[in-house]
Chains A and B, each alone.
Chain A
Amino acid sequence: MVDLIIIGAGPAGITASVYAARKKMNLLVISKDIGGQAAWSGDIENYTGYQFITGPDLTAKFQEHMRNYAIPLKEQETATLVKKTNDSLKVVTDKDTYEARAVIVASGKRSRELGVPGEKEFKNKGLTYCATCDGPLFADKDVAVIGGGNSALDAALQLMKIARHTYIINIMQALGGDPVMREKIERSQAITIFNNTQVSAVLGEKFVSGIRIRRQNKEEILPVQGVFVEIGLLPNSEFVQGVELNEHKEIKVNASNETSIPGIFAAGDVTDVPEKQIIIAAGEGSKAALSAFRYLAQHNF
C-alpha cells in the first residue's frame, strides 16, 4: 500500500507528483502516456515563463522535472477501476492491482469520435486525431479538419504550413475558438471554411480519398487525402466507481479538489473546473496534491 496514487501524467498529474514528492509522500504515478493533451498541442504561447514553446517541448520539461524527484511511474498502463474499500482505495489497471490511502484522478480527456461510416476503417490510413503527430505526412495533399473550436483551429494552422489546401468542416454557423487564431485562419489563402456543414462518411479504398459532406441541403463529395478529427473531447472519468459527475461526465470537485468520495481527489481536464488550460491543469494538480497531503495527515497516515 502506498500513500498516494496519481492516475494520469499530463500537466495536472505531473505537477501533483512533483508536489507530492516534495512532501516526501510515498507515491506512484500510473499513466497511459506522458504529457496528455499537452503533448499533442502545437504552439503554446500562454504558459507563463515561456513566451513560446511547443507541446512536445513543454512535456519534455515537465518530464525532466518529474525525473528530478525520481518519482515511480508506471507508463503505458491504463486504470480501469478506482474503488473505495473499507479502509483504503483499490486501483485496478489493465496490468495490475494496487492499494493506496489516497488517489488523485488526473486522467484528462480523450478525443471524441465522429461516429460516421469509414472512421474506424481509415484510422491511421488518412484519418487521424493528432495533427501535431501525423500532419507532416500530408505534405502537398488536400486535407479536411473536422470541427470549429480551438483544437480544430490549432490543427488547421499547423496544416496550413504543410498541406496543399486545408478545408475546415464546421457544423456550426461560425468558427469558435480564440479570435487571434481565427483571424490567422480567415486571412489564409490556403484554408477554406465550410460552415453549417456536416460529415456523413469517410471514403476511400486502402487510404482516405474523400469525405461525404452535407451543406446547404446538398450532399457532395470533397476529395481529400487526410481527415483530422477535432470535434472536442470526452472526460476519462468512467473508471472511478461511484464518484459524482456533472452533465458532461466530468468529475465534480470543490475548491480543494475533493470529489464526492473521501480520499479521492481529482484535477485538471477530467474535472468540472471551469476553463481547460495547461496552466490551470498544472495549478489544479498542485492543489490536489496539497489537499491529499492534508487529508493523509488528518487521518494519521
Chain B
Amino acid sequence: MDSNVKVYSTPTCPWCIRTKQFLKDNNIPFEDVDVSSNQQAAEEMIQKSGQMGVPVLDINGQIIVGFDKEKINSVLGL
C-alpha cells in the first residue's frame, strides 16, 4: 500500500532524526518538511496538530505528534 507521508521537523531535534531514521529503516518514502526554514510550513504544522512540538507526521491525513513508534506502525500497517 502506498502511503503519503510527510514529516514536519527541525534539523536539530533528536526525535525528528529518530523518526526519519525509523521510516528509512522500514523503506517508507516520506517528504521531509523543515519547519525551521519554512515559516509557512511551520504554520501549517501548528494548524494541523494544534501544537508546536516537533516532529509531526502526516500519514494520509492522519496526524501523529512525536516519535510514537507504535502509532506509526499501526497507521502504516507495519
CB closest residue in chain B, given A75 = B69
Chain B residues with CB below 8 A from A135, complex form = 10, 12
How many pairs, one residue from A and one from B, have CB atoms within 8 Å of each other in the complex? Answer: 70
Contacts of B69 in A (CB 8 A): 75-76
Contact B17 A133 (CB under 8 A): no
Residue A2 at the chain B interface, CB threshold 8 Å: no
A126 beta carbon closer than 8 Å to chain B? yes
Give A33-48 interface residues, CB cut-off 8 Å to B: 33-35, 39-40, 42
Minimum C-beta distance from B43 to chain A (A): 10
**Interface digits, B33-70 against A, CB 8 Å rule (1 contact, 0 not)?**
00111010010001000111110000000000101011
In angstroms, Cα B70 to Cα A95, docked, is 12
- Chain A contact patch, size range: 20 to 34
Is B54 in contact with A134, judged by CB distance below 8 angstroms? Answer: yes
A133 touches B53 (CB 8 A): yes
Name the B residues within 8 Å of A124 (CB-CB): 51-53, 65
Chain B residues with CB below 8 A from A126, complex form: 52
Partner of A133 from B10, B51, B65 at Cβ < 8 Å: B10
Q: Which A residues lie within 8 Å of B13 (CB)?
A: 56, 130, 132-134
Let me know if A56 and B52 touch, CB within 8 A: no
Contact B12 A137 (CB under 8 A): no
Most central of B13, B42, B52, B65 by chain A CB within 10 Å: B52
- Interface size range on B against A: 20 to 34
Q: Is the CB of A136 within 8 A of B17?
A: no
Cβ 8 A contact of A128, one of B36, B39, B53, B65: B53
> Among the interface residues A56, A60, A132, which one has the most CB atoms of the partner chain B within 10 A?
A56
| Contact string against B for A residues 61-92, beta-carbon threshold 8 Å, 1 for contact and 0 otherwise | 00000000000000110000000000000000
Contact present for B39 and A139 (CB under 8 Å): yes
Interface flag for A55 (CB, 8 Å): yes
> Is A256's CB within 8 Å of the partner chain B?
no
Smallest CB separation, A286 vs chain B (Å): 23
Q: Is B30 an interface residue (CB 8 A)?
A: no
* A125 and B10 form a contact (CB under 8 A): no
Quick check: is B18 within 8 A (CB to CB) of the other chain?
yes
25 contacts between A and B (CB under 8 A): A34-B18, A35-B14, A56-B14, A59-B14, A75-B69, A76-B70, A124-B51, A124-B52, A125-B52, A128-B53, A132-B13, A132-B14, A133-B12, A133-B15, A133-B16, A133-B53, A134-B13, A134-B52, A134-B53, A134-B54, A135-B10, A139-B36, A139-B39, A162-B36, A206-B50
Additional A-B contact list (4), CB under 8 Å, known A54-B12, A133-B12, A136-B10: A125-B52, A133-B15, A134-B53, A136-B35
Q: Which positions in B face A, CB cutoff 8 Å?
A: 10-18, 35-37, 39, 42, 46, 50-54, 65, 67, 69-70
Those 5 A-B pairs whose CB atoms lie nearest each other, nearest first = A136-B36, A133-B13, A124-B53, A39-B14, A124-B51
